[in-house]
Amino acid sequence: MKPEDDFTRSRLTLPVLGQPAAERADAARNRHALLSIARTIVTKGGVDALSMDGLAVQAGVGVGTVYRRFKDRAGLAYALLDHEERRFQEAFLFGPPPLGPGAPPVVRIRAFLHAYIDRLETQAELHLFAESHSPKARYNSGVYRTHRTHLAALLTLAQPNTAASYLADALLAVLGAGLFLHQRRELQLSTDQMKAGLDQLLSCLPPG
């Protein structure tokens, strides 16, 4: 096992999504049925059409059931993002380089940031839905904690004694869905331009 693999595994102790233990089979079926209806709502009316009350009505269940499953609108949004998030985490934790183990730390960080931009290109509205529930919604999610821990581990490998946790937060701030949509729609930046800007941010780090 390479040093960076061992270091990352030792630091990254969260479950894949920071979610609770697996549900009973019947509970899982009910959850999947609700998510299927939620996806249909988003497909037909966009993210703005999705609400906890509306989902309950269309599913024919009490709104309390929806809240028990997902806690709040942010939890519902993250549940809808779950499949792609799991694929992403499998790729950066266990997949081939440069995103996965085997490449130098800074190269892996660059691949992570670029892959995140690609995800936002198709899912930014749903990410914004999750992040906008409350000022701390994004930072309290298991997804964010996993990303932050992964980046902090790579930053420490690239430059020991650095403020890795702070820098990880700083890099993830640039990947906020609201900022991404502003840059794409109002500033009309391309994803290639965004990636080039991220590369410039990383240029101050040693190659690892």
12-51: per-residue pLDDT in tens? 444 445 444 556 777 778 888 999 999 898 888 888 888 8
Tell me how far apart the alpha carbons of residues 89 and 112 are, in angstroms, rounded to a whole number: 10
Residues 52, 96, single domain; the answer is: no
Count structural domains, the chain: 2
* Whether pLDDT at 11 is above 60: no
In a domain, 18, yes or no: no
Supply the pLDDT for residue 14.
43
Residues 87, 73, single domain; the answer is: no
- Residue type (1 letter), 206: P
* Whether pLDDT at 63 is above 70: yes
In a domain, 19, yes or no: no
Helix (H, G, I), strand (E, B) or coil at 83: helix
Tell me how far apart the alpha carbons of residues 120 and 47 are, in angstroms, rounded to a whole number: 14
Per the CB < 8 A criterion, the answer to whether 137 and 74 are in contact is yes
- Domain containing 48 equals 25-79
Nearest to 92 by CA among 74, 75, 105: 105
pTM for the complete prediction?
Answer: 0.78
Supply the pLDDT for residue 174.
95
60, 79, 98: which is the final residue of a domain? 79
Supply the pLDDT for residue 157.
94
